[in-house]
């Protein structure tokens, strides 16, 4: 947090939005909580699981179509 504080405070002279870096972090945090309720890693794991299940369903459909 201190590293980001120093880095973003230095950027305040570049652009006005960086003067409000705490608000930016807050907005990013809220958006992550809203769009990733299972967490970022949990969401990625869920997507991987869903993709594997779709592949299995396709394989089963192919096998049943051959019979």
Q: Considering only CA atoms, which of 25, 33, 28, 35 is closest in space to residue 5?
A: 25
pTM for the full predicted model: 0.54
Q: How confident is the model at residue 8 (pLDDT cuts 50, 70, 90)?
A: low
Instruction: Indicate if 15 and 30 belong to the same structural domain.
Output: yes
Which of 40-60 are b and which e, b meaning 16 or more Cβ less than 10 Å from the residue's Cβ?
Answer: eeeeeeeeeeeeeeeeeeeee
**What are the φ/ψ torsions at residue 23 (nearest 5 degrees)?**
-65, -40
**Tokens 């405070």 sit on residue:** 9
Task: Tell whether 28 and 43 lie within a shared domain.
Answer: no
- In this structure, are 17 and 44 located in the same domain? no
pLDDT in tens, 18-53: 677 778 888 999 999 999 888 889 999 999 999 999
Q: Are residues 55 and 26 in the same domain?
A: no
Residues 21 and 44 in one domain: no
Counted domains in the chain = 2
């Amino acid at each position: 947090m201190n590293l980001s504080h120093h880095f973003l405070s230095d950027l305040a002279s570049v652009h006005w939005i960086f003067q409000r870096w705490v608000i930016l972090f807050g907005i990013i945090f809220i958006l992550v909580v809203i769009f990733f309720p299972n967490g970022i890693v949990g969401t990625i794991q869920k997507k991987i699981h869903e993709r594997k299940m779709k592949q299995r369903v396709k394989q089963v459909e192919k096998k049943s179509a051959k019979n």
